[in-house]
Homo-oligomer: A and B are copies of this chain.
């Protein structure tokens, strides 16, 4: 029976929040997962809301880091978009609990923290918008695409991945990423394109 660290508690909270939601999780439930009493959690953390903040901020940081990497290493708009997509899928599947909680429990955050997270989410979305806009300017993406709507569509497809992807399935995560990239670029019709 080893002793737990604050990180253990936050990780456990993430798993619970992701599966049952913030309001569907009690401190005693969480303690049981961790093998301690609910009250013992307060040796590590100020309260339940503080746990949610910690989980959500971890999730936000993963996405932010991913988009920064894509912007730094992308050679052109479409390459950047491919990196954004692959990075998003990786974050989603490498950090499922934090990612899911980040995506679904924003409304359970207290006012101030919620504003911060919404701002972070908006600026992450802006990276997609800017990349698509650049691709339009470069003549790669058709010019009747609204960059903002396009970004929303791409992120909609991406965020849903976590809900249907099975780790033990016969399709790897990099295949998922490239399949999504192909879908959002070529669509269902997918006539040949020179890009």
Contacts and interface: CB of A to CB of B under 8 A. Distances in A.
Contacts of A187: 183-187, 189-190
Given A21-B23, A23-B24, A160-B152, A185 B188 contact: yes
A116 to B, nearest CB: 19
Interface string A171-189: 0000000011001111111
Contact of A192 (B135, B157, B191): B191
B108 A188 contact: no
Contacts of A160: 152, 155-156, 159-160
Interface stretch (A37-45, A46-54, A91-99, A142-150): A142-150
A140 interface: yes
A189 B149 contact: no
Contacts of A150: 183, 188
